[in-house]
A and B are shown apart, each in its own frame.
Chain A
Amino acid sequence: MTVNDIKKLLDAKILCGEEYAEREVHTACGSDMMSDVLAFVKDQSVLLTGLCNPQAVRTAEMMDIVCIVFVRGKMPDESIIELAEEREIVLMSTDMRMFPACGILYENGLRGGVDN
Chain B
Amino acid sequence: MSDTIKLHYTVSPDDFTRAGEASGDVKSKLKKMGVSPEAVRKVAIAMYEGEINMVIHADGGDIDVEISEDDITMILADKGPGIADIEKAMQAGWSTAPDNIRSLGFGAGMGLPNMKKYSDDMKIETELGVGTTVTMKVNM
Contacts and interface: CB of A to CB of B under 8 A. Distances in A.
B45 A62 contact: yes
A2 interface: no
Interface in B23-64: 23-24, 27, 37, 41, 44-45, 48-49, 52
B51 to A, nearest CB: 9
A64 B108 contact: no
A10 B49 CA distance: 31
A56 B52 CA distance: 13
A58 interface: yes
A51 B106 CA distance: 10
A36 interface: yes
B105 A32 contact: yes
B104 interface: yes
**Chain B at the A interface: mostly helix, strand, loop or mixed?**
helix
A56 B113 CA distance: 20
A74 to B, nearest CB: 12
A36 B24 CA distance: 19
B110 interface: yes
Interface string A33-66: 1111011010000000101011110110111100
Report the contact-size class of chain A (Cβ under 8 Å from the partner).
20 to 34
A114 B1 CA distance: 34
Interface in A60-103: 61-64, 79, 87
A54 B18 CA distance: 8
Given A35-B49, A39-B110, A62 B104 contact: no
A56 B48 CA distance: 12
- A-B pairs with the 3 shortest C-beta distances? A35-B110, A58-B20, A34-B105
Interface of B: 16-20, 23-24, 27, 37, 41, 44-45, 48-49, 52, 102, 104-106, 108-111, 113-114, 117
23 contacts: A33-B106, A33-B110, A38-B45, A38-B49, A38-B110, A39-B110, A39-B114, A39-B117, A51-B104, A51-B105, A53-B16, A53-B104, A55-B52, A55-B105, A55-B106, A58-B19, A58-B24, A59-B48, A59-B105, A61-B20, A62-B27, A64-B37, A79-B17
